[in-house]
Structure 1
Amino acid sequence: MSQPHHIQLISLGEARASVLHGLLELFETASSKAEVIGQTGLSVDYDSGMRTAKVLSCNPKPDAIVVLPSNATGQEDEQAILDALVHAHKSGTLIGSICLGAFDLARSGLLDGRRATTHWNEADRFASQFPKVCLDSNQILIDDGDLVTAGGMMAWTDLGLNLVNRFLGPSIMLETARMLLTDPGGREQRFYAVFHANLKHKDPAILSVQHDIHAAPEKRWTVPEMASRARLGDRTFLRRFKSATGETPVRYVLLIRIARARERLETSVTPVSEIAWDLGYADVNAFRKVFWDLVGLTPSDYRRRFSPRSSG
């Protein structure tokens, strides 16, 4: 059996007990389900306060780091912890936050220009402190590929199941939800086909381009531009990108765009044409064709099937 996927839970102060112990139980349940069928499980650690920066600086980096809500602000070692988060992200670690943990994550700068959510009651304060973050507190969970944020205090269940699905697969995720009597909501169908980018390939030049794509999938990305950002020749870039991610750069951009489109179709009533425009498609028919090719449904059919608030 291969090494378990490592998840590091951190907080800058004392974490909320309900969130910490709830996540630990969820991950333990998922791991036990995986081990029954001979599948690699999860290893989970928790660190807080002064030791956290040292833990995060160790190698190898964890597969995911989740910032938990805590009661601390302005610690002496806070900057060292935030710097360690940035370094881990650059190394391909998935970074997440729960509830007010988004404030600590935003202080690292990783959420600048990115979509994120936090507790609705603190949305105004968050927006005023971090105007560069694209805050959407209406969403319980925002999975941006390399960054995942969860909203309210009980959204730890959503983030926990998201990580279980990512690392152990949809079957284990659903079994875990059933065991804990947690409603996985509309996840069943979506998670069976959702695209999860490979960020743990250890090619920093390619990883930096992936981060750029995740931050702005609507851009008109060209191979020469991406190769230039990676400081590689076009052919070398194409070869290394395919080797690192398993996808060509062009298809990778399409997969990220369609993942964003699916999320918006599931969680909003925004017109299909507007979603297409926001994702870089001036021609909505071109968007519909790409969506059909990758998902097997038209955007409207997808919304009717998977959005509880669909207007048809």
Structure 2
Amino acid sequence: MKQAIIVTGAAGFIGHAVAHRLLARGDKVIGVDIVNDYYDPALKEARLATFAGQEDFTFVRLDIADSVAMAKLLRENGVVRVVHLAAQAGVRYSIENPFAYERSNLAGHLSVMEACRHAEGFEHLVYASSSSVYGDKPMGGAGFTEDEPAMDPVSLYAATKRACELMSQSYAKLYGFPQTGLRFFTVYGPWGRPDMAYFSFTQKILKGESIEVFGNGQMARDFTYIDDIVDGIIGALDNPPQRGDHRVLNIGDSHPVGLMDMIETLEKAIGKEAVKIMRPMQLGDVTATYADVSKLHALTGYKPKVMLAEGLQRFADWYLNHYKAL
């Protein structure tokens, strides 16, 4: 009998993709999600609909911050591995709705850890952190490395993600179960999040609306295609640290792209030029992100394969097909 792997945030962008990959290789998956309205719940429900007919997939609609329900779910299903991707995302949203991050990110992470530590024979918790923990550091010749102190977050979202890392560090030492935190760099691709720039730009360009380009177009991001991200997540899941150990690993593309270059690539993918309005940097944003992924590569052989032009073309094709079908 197969042991189920819990994937929290299974109705979300990354969780949906991870669950499908695990199912494709023969794993049993329990997907957990509250399906909130941070962005259009119809997209989340559409993601969940793609699991129809998958006998090894079970969906449980619950709030991860419900510690009693989470512990019961692990205990009753004999779960020994969890991929914890559920969280309140968004740097800018954290400025407007700080208490959403307290519950989803802090209470939610604690609830998941508590459930894991009480699960018999628990093997590995892999959870989502963020490149935001590095703060607004200057762009140099080398990528951001996991050995940097990461003690100067510029948004509440970043602060909660760094707090989760510290909570996991303490739980690994106290209770002895292995944990891996993955610092995601900007993830994009089909089934992505509407609050991400490439997605919202596509919506507006196709409608003939102008787009706001923050940071006066001077920002850069380490855009990472969803399939490459999933490779890294599952590679990390399959290679747990020693009992009592906690590690953080960067997971990105290692090729930062300027915002204006991204927009130009997107315009080519959808065949239409954007009307751009230049704006200053927004509160909580960082100038650039750049992942050093040497540790993840050494552990799993992780190497991103999909470059931005190909990835944005795949996204544009998906977007046109998905919303045309609706």
Work out which structure has the larger RCO, using CA pairs closer than 8 Å and 6 or more positions apart in sequence.
2
What is the TM-score normalised by the length of structure 2? Answer: 0.34
What is the TM-score normalised by the length of structure 1? Answer: 0.35
Q: Which has the higher helix share?
A: 1
